[in-house]
Amino acid sequence: MFLYYRFNCLITRLIIILAGLAVLPLTERGEPMKDLTQKQWFVMRDLKRVNAKLPAYKFLSNNDVTVFVPTKWNVVIKKGKRERITVPVLQDLLFVYDSRQHLDPLVAKMPTLQYRWLRNTYREPMVVPQADMNHFMQAVKAFKSTQYYLPEEITPQMYGKKISIIGGPLNGYQGYLLSVRGSKVKRLLVELKGYLAAGVEVNPEYIQFV
């Protein structure tokens, strides 16, 4: 069995060489490793306490790493005075745009900062396609009153009519109106499938039903 495994590894290397491709190091499974210098949107978690002085997203920002963290407004008491600040919606969810080459040493410095791994893989990190990430970030940054939901919180009943947005900061977006009982505000449901969903406020005059 061991000889068969080694033979497969040698064959894999030979195919790469004959194809004229760059010879990359192989994983323990005999598969070519991905380019560690390529920047991607990694899905990560922060295991620090909610009130930690240096959460992971601040640590990464201080080290010239692009981080997207969904936030919400929260009221805290500082020196006897009420103060309104932004805090992460989910402490253990952040999206990080960087290469493994630059990011791995930072992860090693902060044990509470971890990659989220795909199931049934050999430590393959979760990654969001850049187009999907840009689409989501542009939508949620357009307004300050965004409401966030976990995937399991979105029920079939919450998918309203399908719409297109014509005009305004979300011009060209398509999706479903978020249907929430008692809400008078029109919101477009924008999703990062499997990770997060957001209800983004839209002006009724920009809504076109599909």
Q: What is the pLDDT of residue 143?
A: 81
**Each residue's pLDDT tens digit in the chain (210 positions)?**
544 444 454 454 444 434 443 334 444 344 455 689 999 999 999 999 877 889 999 999 999 999 999 988 888 787 888 888 788 888 889 999 999 999 999 999 999 999 999 988 888 999 999 999 999 999 998 887 899 999 999 999 999 999 999 999 999 999 999 998 888 899 999 999 999 999 999 999 999 999
Q: How many domains would you assign to the chain?
A: 3
The whole domain housing 6 covers: 1-33
Is the domain of 48 the same as that of 110?
Answer: yes
The C-alpha atoms of residue 33 and residue 100 are separated, in whole angstroms, by 12
DSSP string, 97-147: EEEHHHHHHHHHH-TTEEEPBPTTSSS-B-EE-HHHHHHHHHHHHS-S--E
Same-domain status, 122 and 43: yes
Based on the fold, state whether residues 17 and 86 are members of the same structural domain: no
Domain of 104, CATH number, reads 3.30.70.940
Q: Where among 93, 128, 163 does a domain terminate? A: 128
Domain termination residue (choose one: 81, 101, 128): 128
Residue 198 near residue 154, CB atoms below 8 Å: no
* pLDDT at residue 124, rounded to an integer: 92
Same domain, 53 and 119: yes
